[in-house]
């Protein structure tokens, strides 16, 4: 990918071998943003877990203090709480008939299910699973607390887990956010990851942390 002169000039300010304080990194990231849209701010946390071991998966949920700046489309599949889901602001609400639509189109970012629907969802696991959309109790997307869950997701609660390279990726705001709000969101997310360290993993969980804007260069931060 070929970058413009402005991007290259800004990128030269970032020392890829240096670890910046969070405050320095946020300021530098904003100064080096060149896109004409409000970019997301991303955090990438490299962990020391072995991603091939099931008991070393790092996963959880984080309700960022100031949200991620992105409104999620929430779908709810239920036979008991449809009215509650609609009242809470869910974008799509249905019962077993929804399962048939998943093979044709998926128009949501997160799927919430009440427990009795999980056996019905089994036949859609091959479609939802690879996309990271299969409801799971560990990410609080299998629940009887539909109103509370939908409202939290709409406000920015996000599920996270490490990928096949043992890295956790998460949007933690927008470039337009105040520095203080971005910093608080980032600190909150790092703390949250630390709290879900797998019991089977011994040692230091986090290897390195990088932040960047959607189109920007990664900036390593000290932690």
Average pLDDT, the chain: 92
pLDDT at 199 over 90: yes
E strands within the chain? Answer: 40-47, 59-63, 74-77, 92-94, 110-113, 157-161, 167-174, 206-213, 219-221
- What integer pLDDT is reported at residue 11 of this predicted model? 64
What does the block give as tokens for 154? 């709409």
Task: Catalogue all structural domains in the chain, each as residue range(s) with its CATH number.
Answer: 15-68+158-221 (3.30.190.20), 74-155 (3.40.50.790)
- What integer pLDDT is reported at residue 2 of this predicted model? 56
Mean pLDDT, rounded, for 131-138:
91
Mean pLDDT, rounded, for 100-129:
94
- What integer pLDDT is reported at residue 115 of this predicted model? 97
Question: What is the layout of strands, in order, in the sheet containing 92-94?
Answer: 92-94, 74-77, 110-113
- What integer pLDDT is reported at residue 70 of this predicted model? 84
- What integer pLDDT is reported at residue 10 of this predicted model? 62
pTM higher than 0.85, yes or no?
no
Q: Report pLDDT digits (tens) over 138-197.
A: 888 999 999 999 999 988 888 899 999 999 999 999 999 999 999 999 999 999 999 999
Q: What percent of the chain has pLDDT over 90?
A: 78
Mean pLDDT, rounded, for 5-17:
71
Q: How far apart are CA 122 and CA 35, in angstroms?
A: 42
Consecutive H or E run containing 188 = helix 179-195
- What integer pLDDT is reported at residue 9 of this predicted model? 63
């Amino acid at each position: 990918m070929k970058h413009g002169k402005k991007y290259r000039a800004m990128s030269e300010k970032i020392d890829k071998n240096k670890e910046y304080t969070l405050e320095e990194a946020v300021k530098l990231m904003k100064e080096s943003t060149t896109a004409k849209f409000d970019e997301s701010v991303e955090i990438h946390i490299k962990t020391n877990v072995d991603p091939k071991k099931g008991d070393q998966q790092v996963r959880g949920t984080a309700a960022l203090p100031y949200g991620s700046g992105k409104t999620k489309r929430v779908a709810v599949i239920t036979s008991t709480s449809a009215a509650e889901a609609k009242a809470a602001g869910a974008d799509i609400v249905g019962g077993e008939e929804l399962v048939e639509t998943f093979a044709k189109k998926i128009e949501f970012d997160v799927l919430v299910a009440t427990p009795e629907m999980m056996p019905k969802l089994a036949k859609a696991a091959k479609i939802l699973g690879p996309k990271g959309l299969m409801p799971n109790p560990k990410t609080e997307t299998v629940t009887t607390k539909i109103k509370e869950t939908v409202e939290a997701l709409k406000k920015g609660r996000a599920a996270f887990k490490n990928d096949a390279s043992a890295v956790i990726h998460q949007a933690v705001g927008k470039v337009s956010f105040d520095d203080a709000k971005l910093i608080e969101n980032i600190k909150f997310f790092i703390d949250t990851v630390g709290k879900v360290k797998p019991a089977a993993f011994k040692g230091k969980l986090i290897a390195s942390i990088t932040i960047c804007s959607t189109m920007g260069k990664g900036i390593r931060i000290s932690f």
